[in-house]
Amino acid sequence: MAPPPPPPPPPLADARLRLETVRLTALYGRRAVVKDVSILFPGHTVTALIGPSGCGKTTFLRCLNRMHELSEGGWTTGRVLLDGEDIYEPGVDPVRLRRRIGMVFQRPTPFPTMSVYDNVAAGLRVNGGRSRGDLDAAVERALQQAALWDEVRDRLRHSALGLSGGQQQRLCIARALAPEPEVLLLDEPTASLDPSGTQRIEELCHELKTRYTIVIVTHNLQQAARVSDYTAFFYLGELIEVGHTEAVFTKPAKEQTEAYITGRFG
């Protein structure tokens, strides 16, 4: 018996559509790791991508800012619409696109040769044409948004490697926020952090969604339940179910989803 197509997420009346994938398939060579995924990310919401390891969550995320095509043998079919425009159109410059869609990785990746300040300013400088004062203001704003300003304001010129793991990850968030992207992609941002670091990042998600559209990959189901408005469950490269987080966790439509969230597999 073929499963019926997943129902589209109920649209929020006040949310402007930001990001949407249409029949997106991601491949390594001839092997598809994301299969025919159509999903909507309403503006100013947090969507969590959950599922067992190797189910294609991260690859899917990397398709949203065209990072997947940089991997050996990586390519895609289907469409990804940002404000209604396909980011895989031939005329789109992936380098410019990535300045509109920020990304934070599993492990903190501060640039080791740069100071705290230079790390945050990196994405702004690459755009060029900013005065010193503008840059200072933008760096401070980004650090404030990432809830790191108070901790680093006295050591902006120090090496970013002097920060703790949790601080480094918030620094990476600040670095991603500084160029004021429209979408923020978080790939298991708390995977290498301790509980208090994790909590700070989760709180951040709540604050940041007033400005950004957030997509977060997580292995931690409690985290998905805590931070997200919508939850999408992936299994073996396919999108099994997507819906309001509360609905997915309390009365999932699919048996596979229920099995996963109750801990029977994955």
Partner 1 sequence: MTARRLRRRVVSTLMTGLVGVLSFLAVLALVLILGNLIAKGASSLDWSFFTRNPVPAGEAGGGVANAIVGTVIVVGLAALIGLPVGIGTGLYLAEYGSGRLGWIVRFVADVLNGTPSIVVGIFAWTWLVKPMGHFSAFAGSVALAVLMIPMLARTTEEMVRLVPHSLREAALALGYPRWRTSLRVVARTALAGIVTGSLVGIARIAGETAPLLFTALGNLNFSTSVTQPMQTLSLQIYTYATGPFAEWHRLAWAAALVLMGLVLLLSLAARWAVRSRHGAPPAPPAPPAR
- In this complex, which beta carbon is closest to partner 1, that of residue 105 or of residue 233? 105
Of 4, 53, 70, 265, the one binding partner 1 by CB under 8 A = 70
Of 27, 33, 172, 261, the one binding partner 1 by CB under 8 A = 172
Stretch binding partner 1 (CB under 8 A), from 163-171, 173-181, 204-212, 254-262? 173-181
Stretch binding partner 1 (CB under 8 A), from 21-29, 32-40, 90-98, 245-253? 90-98
Is 122 a binding residue for partner 1 by CB under 8 A? The answer is yes
> Taking the alpha carbons of 155, 157, 162, 164 in that order, is the dihedral positive or negative?
positive
What number of other Cβ atoms are within 10 A of residue 207's Cβ? 12
- Tell how far CA 33 is from the center of its chain: 18
Q: How many CA atoms lie within 13 A of 266 on its CB side?
A: 23
CA–CA distance from 118 to each of 135, 179, 181 (Å)? Answer: 10, 13, 18
Stretch binding partner 1 (CB under 8 A), from 27-35, 50-58, 106-114, 221-229? 106-114
Q: For the CA atoms of 154, 157, 163, 167, what is the dihedral angle to 10 degrees?
A: 70
Short-list 123, 31, 104, CA closest to 74:
31
For residue 218, what are its two tokens?
A: 């997580």
Is 38 a binding residue for partner 1 by CB under 8 A? The answer is no
Of 39, 50, 63, 67, the one binding partner 1 by CB under 8 A = 67
Is 102 a binding residue for partner 1 by CB under 8 A? The answer is yes
> Taking the alpha carbons of 139, 171, 198, 191 in that order, is the dihedral positive or negative?
positive
Stretch binding partner 1 (CB under 8 A), from 36-44, 81-89, 98-106, 222-230? 98-106
CB of 209 to partner 1, least distance (A): 20
DSSP state of 265: -
Residues in touch with partner 1 (CB under 8 A) = 65, 67, 70, 95-99, 102-103, 105, 107, 109, 111-113, 122-123, 126-127, 159, 161, 172, 175-176, 179
